[in-house]
Amino acid sequence: MKNEEFLEKLNKLIPEPKCELKYNSPYELLVAVILSAQCTDRRVNIVTEELFKEFNTPEKMLKLSQEELEEKIHSCGFYHNKAKNILEMSKSLLEKFNGQVPNDLDKLQTLAGVGRKTANVVFAEAFKGNAIAVDTHVLRVSNRLGFVKTENPFICERALMENFDEKVWGKLHLQLVLFGRYICKAQKPDCQNCLFLNDCKYNIE
């Protein structure tokens, strides 16, 4: 299957992909993405709906102690590290970037708790930058569809960037996440209703 044909089918399937995390500013998105590691977007939205009522800027977040923030985000899992990273990230935003989330991939990655995937998500989603964040869904789907044969997210990211025009990277990331979340699921993918069945490299038993 040619890449153009793949995009055409994907655009039919998921014409207007939307990020499922709720946010009103780049800072809120950044906090939500940190909380979303090993957690569902639905759970994160429940937690942030409460959290952001009072603590939706770096200054306000830093009014919370580590323990207080842990209590508020407890149900997202890994709450100790997530709270630590959110507080350190907020501190460095104030110290280095005047309290603003930088619109720059390299600068984003200098923040505590912000790895390449998180930086790519925030850059693409909040700033409409050209980036492909590779999470577990994007990695799985890219392997099954034969775009890559690797478990390394960075290699997968490079391969997708080489295969597709940079103008579609941000949209493609969201489409692959949603495709992996609802159709090409880790367990029991919905292959019978998949437009890519004939091209899929997945070993269907």
Q: Which two tokens stand for residue 112?
A: 């505590």
**Please, what is the minimum distance in Å from the beta carbon of residue 147 to ligand SF4?**
11
CB 158 within 8 A of CB 166: no
Residue/partner pairs of 61-69 with CB below 8 Å, 24 or more apart: 61/31, 61/86, 61/87, 61/90, 62/87, 62/90, 62/91, 62/94
Q: Look up residue 192 and give its amino acid.
A: Q
CA 155 to each of CA 1, 147, 158, 178: distance values in angstroms, whole numbers, following the listed order:
21, 11, 5, 21
**Please, what is the minimum distance in Å from the beta carbon of residue 83 to ligand SF4?**
36
**Please, what is the minimum distance in Å from the beta carbon of residue 132 to ligand SF4?**
18
Which of 39, 33, 48, 12 has its CA nearest to residue 124?
33
| Residue whose CB is less far from ligand SF4, 130 or 150 | 150
Annotated catalytic residue within 135, 149, 185, 199: 135
- Annotated catalytic, 135? yes
Residues 135-194 that bind ligand SF4 (CB under 6 A): 144-145, 183-184, 189-191, 194
**Please, what is the minimum distance in Å from the beta carbon of residue 196 to ligand SF4?**
5
Annotated catalytic residue within 117, 167, 171, 201: 117
197 near ligand SF4, judged by CB under 6 A: yes
**Catalytic (active-site) positions:** 117, 135
Contact residues toward ligand SF4 (CB under 6 A) are 144-145, 183-184, 189-191, 194, 196-197, 200, 202
